[in-house]
Amino acid sequence: MKAKSLILILGAGGHAMACIDVVEAEGRYRVLGLVGWKKETGRKVCGYSVVGTENDLPSLLKKTTHLVNGIGQIKSPQLRIKVFDKLVRMGVIFPAIKSPHAYVSKKAKLGEGTIVMHRATLQAGVQVGKNCIINDHALLEHGVSVGNHCHVSTGAILNGDVQIGEGSFIGSGSTIQEGVVIPPCSIVPMGTIVYRKKVN
């Protein structure tokens, strides 16, 4: 049996825990450990140690260049973007990760560093940019386009041909009517129903 490649998880909070679960379920990688804040070093998260901080990455990258961005995104994507862009310039590989319990059409496309969580559904023609979170039970219908660095939260419904601008947050349980265009850096609050063709 071929040995699994090693992968590091950036972050040591709640989203990192969820990422670990998806990585384990997918089965392509073995988690080497987590990269967190200095005060988190040595603690265990889901059985894995926080093996260092951002300052330790040069030595950690000698063991693996594959990482998952386990930093969450609610109010702002800026920290996720900053870390992602910096590490890509360092030669880090952010593979797209998808739960085996999700449905991702063979005619859908995922950008680097995007993670698709359990029981999400991505239909034919869906395009998701890089460094995105498609969370549990999210539904992306045919032709949906999600820009880079977005978070589509739990149970959100994006109907056909919806376009989500870069850096946006789509709250849990929200529903967006077919064809709606969401501008970049938007926040759609939890439970919102969006009928208009554009929101600010």
Rg of the chain's alpha carbons, rounded to an integer?
A: 17
Q: State which residues of the chain have pLDDT below 50.
A: 200
What domains, with CATH codes, occur in the chain? 5-89 (3.40.50.20), 97-200 (2.160.10.10)
Under a CB-based contact definition with an 8 Å cutoff, are residues 134 and 122 in contact? Answer: yes
In what order do the strands lie in the sheet containing 181-182? 109-110, 127-128, 145-146, 163-164, 181-182
| Burial of residue 75 (number of CB atoms within 10 Å: 0-12, 13-18, 19+) | exposed
In sequence order, what are the beta bridge partners of 138?
none
Question: What pTM value is reported for the model?
Answer: 0.94
- Predicted pLDDT of residue 75: 76
- Predicted pLDDT of residue 74: 75
Q: Residue 143 — left, alpha, or beta (φ > 0 → left; ψ -120 to 50 → alpha)?
A: left
